[in-house]
Structure 1
């Protein structure tokens, strides 16, 4: 159902565009830069939000609603709101609302792209990329891949001005510290892998996530029931951004691959206010969180599927069945 609805939403978006807009937004599924992405500032291939009419923008919003939970959508809009605050611009986007990007400076920094033909039977994808936001949705047959997925925020907390006190991606930080502080001294010695946090996520924006860069840390299987619950809640902050069926499938995959093999590693400060980092890694699931830049008020967070980023596992099954 979600796949069909997403296909229809993408077709509606494409049908609403002018020929010039369609040329900007469209690319073949096998385009050479398919797996290139970044969360840094700068231009991307695609059509900017600022170039969309209000009607066209609603089609993009529909794609987001189908792929993301209510919280995930709120997090995505929060990234854009933080970008406005960062650049000392009037905020046209109160929490939970959408619209109003036409002709704005921030709207020029985020790019929508459709790869492949959503009206056909072959794999296709859509993405929304820009500073601190990288959303990639790949559809293969009746299944969806949701990664790589990056959410960041600068500031993490607004410390002055009319929005002072507003926080972005707050639970990712709060639950991380709560889990760290729930560990016993011996467990903490295993989980805390360095007194200094890295200055960014270790897997960066590479097309393929190199898990060998990560420290192992403390295994889920070596935690108490209370600690396991906290780790599950922390994982839920990443998985829970996805729409219900997608998030549920991800959690089932994590469990099937052996949840006891998931590990939690921490680096840097053990109290808020100074640079800190954590990773959660397992056979298929990988999440990283880093808050070190801008006096530890600048978040980077990423969710990767070691097996199925860019829908690679789905694509392998698709081609093995001779569906090309």
Structure 2
């Protein structure tokens, strides 16, 4: 058991015995403990529509897309760390650490932080991210980090925000044949990357920012998620009036509609909106292009593998919308099939109220990608691997 886990269990025990001890924890530590304990009460099952996993969706097979560059980059990253950093960065492949992520900036992170890395170590970390993701995915990750610096400039609080307040953990041993993976997490950026031979699962993925476009400061001009925003609206506008009446499940948004963010591993989320089986070929193609904007954060080869899987279930894919459809509208949309969930949401303002006002606006976005039916974090592939190799699962 990792030292932090022992400490957290001790904290809980002491808090149960003494309110004064609990009061000595920082608010950040208390909130982290509370969220973790609530979130991990139930073992992982996966997101479902009715509480029952739809079986047979995910198979162990060779994709033909090498993961060797990712493994090499992970080995190089671990070798760049000193012994103490390496110790706190490595977890077992089936550790609950996979599930211990949260978007909020106050969450207590594990692993090694960019804020404590040398320039050489940061380069090795970005090499790992770059080997795993597409160029687009790497740029998005780095731009989110930069925009978190912008939020620090706006709020005047670089202790709370900043470009380097992101952490990396490695699950299992980087291997050609055995399951392993890595996780990056921090404010508005969580990447879970599971590897089994040449298969990859890159969910849960959480991306976003406040602000979304830097109007001031060191990184003025940096922007993210504009294509995902605009293409979502384009998808709604591609529907006829009857289709729109089914897709729009609420006419306006109050913000904060995301249902599959942190601690939602087992949420029951039924299909909503309109089913793509009723779409024309052109509308289905439009929906696939929208989905691909999110999937293309993976490296090109594994993105194609995932899109083939998505296309297989396109007629069982649903599109739901909350909000308006004007040029400057704020809105939420969800794409939901047996093999993928995507949520996009214009959020209520928090750190940018003094610049952009109190209403829901386009300068605060959350987006989440999930693999429902038990394969977030590659859990279903890992389960099947253990069935084939029971001696590895103790």
1:299 counterpart (365, 370, 373): 365
Gapped regions of structure 1 (runs ≥ 5): 90-102
After superposition, the Cα gap between the structure-2 partners of 1:259 and 1:29, relative to the gap in structure 1 and judged at 3 Å, is same
Aligned to 1:173: 229
1:20 paired to 2:84? yes
Listed as ranges, the matches of 1:120-269 within 5 Å are: 121-159=177-215, 166-197=222-253, 198-208=255-265, 210-212=267-269, 215-256=271-312, 258-269=313-324
Q: Which residue of the partner structure matches residue 72 of structure 1?
A: 137
Residue 84 (structure 2) pairs with residue 29 (structure 1): no
The Cα shift of 1:27 comes to 1.8
Find the residue that maps to 1:188 and give its secondary structure.
helix
Q: Does structure 2 retain, via aligned residues, the 8 Å contact 1:41–1:130?
A: yes
Contact preservation (8 Å) 2:275, 2:317? yes
Q: CA deviation at 1:191?
A: 0.5
What TM-score, normalized to structure 2? 0.73
Moved more, 44-53 or 195-204: 195-204
Say if 1:36 and 1:207, in contact at 8 Å, map to a contact too. Answer: no
* Residue equivalent to 2:387: 320
Q: CA separation of 1:162/1:306 partners in 2, compared to 1, >3 Å: closer, same or farther? A: same
Aligned twin of 2:70: 6
Q: How does 1:89-128 map to 2 (within 5 A)?
A: 106-119=162-175, 121-128=177-184
Q: Which sits farther off after the overlay, 121-130 or 144-153?
A: 121-130
| 1:45 match: secondary structure | coil
Residues 152 and 225 of structure 1: CA distance in aligned 2, closer, same or farther (over 3 Å): same
Cα separation, 2, equivalents of 1:147 and 1:74: 18
CA distance in 1, matches of 2:122, 2:228: 29
CA distance in 2, matches of 1:149, 1:61: 17
Q: Which has the higher strand share?
A: 1
Gaps of 5+ in 2: 1-64, 350-359
SS of 1:155's equivalent?
A: coil
Give the structure-1-normalised TM-score.
0.88
Please state whether the residue corresponding to 1:210 is helix, strand or coil.
coil
Contact persistence 2:68–2:176 (CA under 8 A): no
> Partners in 2 of 1:260 and 1:138 — Cα distance?
27
Which stretch of the first structure deviates more once superposed, 167-176 or 136-145? 136-145
State the number of aligned residues.
Answer: 309
Residues 148 and 163, structure 2, Cα contact 8 Å, conserved in 1: no
Deviation at 1:63, TM superposition (A): 1.3
Q: Flag the structure with larger Rg.
A: 2
Aligned Cα RMSD in Å? Answer: 2.3
C-alpha separation between the residues in 1 aligned to 2:316 and 2:184?
32
